[in-house]
Amino acid sequence: MQHASYIAAMGQNTPWSRVTAFSAALIAVIAAGIVLKHLGGILIPFVLAGFLAILFKPLVQGLRARRVPMAVSLLIVLIISGTALWVVSLIVAAGVEAFQERSPYYSQQLQRVLASANDAISPMLRRAKVKSITWGDIVSAERVTSIATQQLSAAVSVLSDGFMVLLYLVFMVAGQEAFPLKVRNAFPDERGSMVLSLFRTLNTKVRKYLLVKTGFNILNGLITWGILEFFGVDFAPLIGLLAFVFHYIPNLGSIISTLIPSVLFLLQTQDVPNVLFLATVLTIAHNIIGNAIEPKVMGDRLDLSPVVVLFSLIFWGWMWGIVGMVLSIPIMAVAKALLSSVESTRPIAVLMGSGEPPASVADNDATP
């Protein structure tokens, strides 16, 4: 019997079994990617509602602790989230309408800027005996206007899913109280406590990240809005809202939030010194908040490697567009926590981390 069990154990570790396991895992990943890509319209509102439910959980728990009925608690959550969605919808709708009215003007301005750039570069190209470039063939006004209109239409379509987000949010918040009991009934042994501990850790980490990040993003959006209003840039409220959204994207968010209003201001005024001054002011403001104040308050709460952050931005951006890039970091933090909870996948979670030892480990090592 011992000999047979030894042979069976050896058979499980053969190269063929490892190849089979790897192939099955690869097929599962590809299948999951296809599902995520094609069901994005359904999954994006669900994921957004999930993160909102994490944010609202302390509020609901506090209301329930004061014996506020669940129906009233849900109504308060709906009022807060619905009001925020309504304000965002108003800003986007006003920005889209203003952009459609001003698009002919910006098309003419873009043609003038491209013509000026062509006149400035052509003599240098002729001296270098290089064929001159016709910028209109590369960047046409119609093409830029079409791309901008498509992106604004995509933003409006995301907002149109707000009803589904609120619907998912109501059911998620309503089911939070019964979730621990369901877990203990499903896993009556120690696994139930482990699952609940994992979910508590996930909720705490993601909630702290979302709360701090959202607070600083609101500050970034308001400051951007105020700076653009001071300089007289068109669509200042809409660009401030975009700055709020884009700052969820690490590193790239501040660049995009500076580049968009600078290019727009260049087309609006063709005043290069003022445009450079605006870009400098925005860069300083974003860096003070994003690189000086925010890291001291937030720290490295999610413990993700920069390579993982970059990969998640590319992957989820390809999957779900701008919304995917915004959600990429919380999603990868949840994935890392889930992988770290399973013994066989814990090395993958360690590789996804930033390399710093956990706080508990550091404390234990420091204890005599």
Express each pLDDT in 75-122 by its tens digit.
Answer: 999 999 989 888 888 888 788 788 778 877 877 777 777 777 666 666
Give the Cα separation of 240 and 226 in Å (integer). Answer: 8
- End-to-end CA gap in the chain: 49
Residue 109, domain member (yes or no)? yes
Per residue in 242-254, pLDDT tens? 899 888 887 788 8
- Highest-scoring range by mean pLDDT, 149-153, 265-269, 292-296, 344-348: 265-269
Match 């129906």 to its residue by tokens. 71
Cα 85 to Cα 7, 165, 185: the distances in Å are 62, 10, 37
What is the Cα gyration radius of the chain?
A: 26
Domain shared by 155 and 195, yes or no: no
Residues 290 and 309 in one domain: no
Give the C-alpha separation, 116 to 137, whole Å.
Answer: 15
Task: Give yes or no: residues 319 and 285 share one domain.
Answer: no
My answer on whether 74 and 155 are in the same domain is yes
- pLDDT at residue 363 in the model: 41
**What is the torsional sign of CA 42, 30, 318, 354?**
positive
Domain boundary among 116, 144, 177: 177
Is residue 94 in a domain?
Answer: yes
> CB of 257 within 8 A of CB of 243?
yes
C-alpha 58, offset from chain centre? 22
Per-residue confidence (pLDDT) for residue 227, from 0 to 100: 95
Band (362; pLDDT cuts 50, 70, 90): very low
162-201 per-position pLDDT tens digit: 788 888 998 998 888 888 888 888 887 777 788 788 888 8
Q: Quote the number of domains for the chain.
A: 3
Question: Within 13 Å of residue 253, how many CA atoms lie on the same side as its CB?
Answer: 31
Residues 171 and 205 in one domain: no
Mean per-residue pLDDT for 44-67? 89
* pLDDT band per the 50, 70, 90 thresholds, residue 334: confident
Percent of the chain clearing pLDDT 70 (strictly above): 76
Instruction: Decide which of 230 and 366 is more confident.
Output: 230
Q: Are residues 106 and 222 in the same domain?
A: no
Same domain as 218, residue 306: no
Among residues 259, 275, 299, the one where a domain terminates is 299
Of 326, 309, 308, give the one whose Cα is nearest residue 317.
326
Alpha carbon distances (Å) from 52 to 76, 95, 221, 326, 361: 14, 25, 20, 14, 31
Tell me which residue range forms the domain holding 79. 42-177
Do the domain assignments include residue 29?
Answer: no
Residue partners of 170: CB distance under 8 A and separation at least 6? 74, 77, 78
Q: What tens digit of pLDDT does each residue of 110-145 get?
A: 777 777 766 666 666 566 555 555 555 545 555 555
* Same domain, yes or no: 122 and 214: no
Same domain membership, residue 137 and residue 216: no
**Shared-domain flag, residues 158 and 87:** yes
Classify residue 6: in a domain, yes or no: no
Q: 287's torsion region: left (phi>0), alpha (psi -120 to 50) or beta?
A: alpha
- Report d(CA 48, CA 277) in Å as an integer: 37
Same domain, 47 and 172: yes
Instruction: Determine the longest span between alpha carbons in the chain, in angstroms.
Output: 88
pLDDT of 161: 74
User: Does 198 lie in the same domain as 123?
Assistant: no
